[in-house]
A and B are shown apart, each in its own frame.
Chain A
Amino acid sequence: MAAKTLTINGRQISAAEGSTVLKAAEEAGVEIPSLCHLDGVYDVGACRLCLVEVKGASRLLPACTTVISEGMEVQTGTERLIKYRRMTLELLFAERNHVCSVCVADGHCELQTLAYSLGMDHVRFDYLFPKWDVDNTHSLFGMDHNRCILCTRCVRVCWHIEGAGTKNVSGRGGQSKIITDLNAAWGKSDSCTSCGKCVQSCPTGALFYKGSTVGEMVRDRSKLEFIVNAREKKLWVYQD
């Protein structure tokens, strides 16, 4: 496959044609924060945390869905980007009820980790405090909509790794909601295979194993990576 050369933060790098800016940056050791990207499933640019500046583009572009081109000049950590990333994070926290201190994912949460890594010490926007339910009808897993950031990782692993198509999104904007089947209770779903891939993919405490209490929801991504490796590299082994 042909390689393309581009610069990231002034440094010249090359990456395979068709790579995304996120992938190219990762290979070059440049970290771009992201929440909705998950290796092995297609990208949707939902969380807007990986926004980067590309010379010549009039707006900021999500690194996960922007394909590299020859001579592209990308900036990943400008003051403007840092400002917007912090704002996006704060809006995510304000939109639903993320109460870290009583969350199953406390200490193992990608949203929480990003918040402290990016220096978020408080939220400048008014919290919305919406009323959301917890679906505890499934025998093994639970879904707490209060902690959901609508990254749709669970939807994508369900459709494209498991192939069950149980998880979907309903509604619009802030009222969007992850549903099972046609908005049935999860426990009543005909299509769910109870594989748990959605639970492994979730970046926050929205999806959890039943019985987990504060800080106990530790995810094991190796199960997802195993399948993705098998599919993409034909390697049927667990990688360390």
Chain B
Amino acid sequence: MSFLDLDEFLLELAPRVELVFSPIMDVKEFPADVDLCLVEGALCNTDHIEMAHKIRRLTKAVVAFGDCAITGNVSAIRNQLGLGNRENVLQRAYMESAQLNPCKPALKGIVPPLIERVMPLHEVIRVDYFLTGCPPHAERIKSFLSQWLAGQKPRLQGLDLKFG
């Protein structure tokens, strides 16, 4: 959503980039030869791990986009429950909080299994750039993308690196 806050910069951006994969596009497979990928969110389940490796393999520059991807942030709070938290989390979400038909997702291939602890992206793959913020402010994204489009190695500093 914060990306959409780029407002008119999106119009400047549109002719200069080719968007090949995104949650708002109907593309199922991550394509090859991607120049830049903004990865949002922490890694919570086995699908995420697989996807992260695929992104790394097919992308030149990977950006950890936002606090969740960089630190685990709120999504990693379940790690405080210890390594057995997978079961507790499912128990709480699907059994205790369920009002109708409480049951844990067990069918294979429907819901990917949670991993033991939520991880930031750079614990799993090599990350080239970090864009902090929850969410990263539009100005910060603009500054990063402008530098990158100008062929520079993007470098943010000061308040542009603030977490939260």
Closest to A100 in B: B164
A120 to B132 alpha-carbon distance, docked (Å): 10
Closest to A113 in B: B162
- Determine whether the beta carbon of B80 is less than 8 Å from that of A130: yes
Given contacts A97-B77, A127-B79, A129-B80, contact A112 B130 (CB under 8 A): no
Segment at the interface with A among B87-95, B97-105, B152-160: B152-160
A117 to B127 alpha-carbon distance, docked (Å): 21
- Chain B 47-62 against A: per-residue CB contact (8 Å), 1 yes, 0 no? 0000000000000000
Please name all residues of chain B whose beta carbon is closer than 8 Å to the beta carbon of A127 when the two chains form the complex. Answer: 71-72, 76, 79, 120
Please name all residues of chain B whose beta carbon is closer than 8 Å to the beta carbon of A130 when the two chains form the complex. Answer: 80
Q: Which residues between 118 and 137 of chain A lie within 8 Å of chain B, taking CB atoms?
A: 119-124, 126-127, 129-132
Closest to B160 in A: A116
Please name all residues of chain B whose beta carbon is closer than 8 Å to the beta carbon of A116 when the two chains form the complex. Answer: 132, 158-163
A46 to B48 alpha-carbon distance, docked (Å): 39
- Determine whether the beta carbon of A121 is less than 8 Å from that of B162: no
Q: Which residues between 106 and 145 of chain B lie within 8 Å of chain A, taking CB atoms?
A: 117, 120, 122-123, 127, 130, 132, 134
Contacting residue for B123 out of A112, A119, A126, CB 8 A: A126
Interface centre among A103, A120, A127, A132 (most CB of B within 10 A): A127
Chain A positions near chain B (C-beta within 8 angstroms): 93, 97, 99-103, 106-107, 112, 115-117, 119-124, 126-127, 129-132, 215
Interface of A is mostly: loop
**Number of contacting residues on B, CB 8 A?**
30
A132 to B81 alpha-carbon distance, docked (Å): 10
With both chains docked as a complex, state the minimum distance between the C-beta of B120 and any C-beta of chain A, in angstroms.
7
A121 to B64 alpha-carbon distance, docked (Å): 10
Contacting residue for A101 out of B67, B157, B161, CB 8 A: B67
Closest to A128 in B: B79
- Determine whether the beta carbon of A120 is less than 8 Å from that of B76: no
- Determine whether the beta carbon of B161 is less than 8 Å from that of A99: no
Please name all residues of chain B whose beta carbon is closer than 8 Å to the beta carbon of A106 when the two chains form the complex. Answer: 164
Please name all residues of chain A whose beta carbon is closer than 8 Å to the beta carbon of B82 when the two chains form the complex. Answer: 131
A101 to B82 alpha-carbon distance, docked (Å): 22
Contacting residue for A99 out of B77, B122, B127, CB 8 A: B77
A132 to B24 alpha-carbon distance, docked (Å): 39
A129 to B120 alpha-carbon distance, docked (Å): 12
- Determine whether the beta carbon of A122 is less than 8 Å from that of B156: no
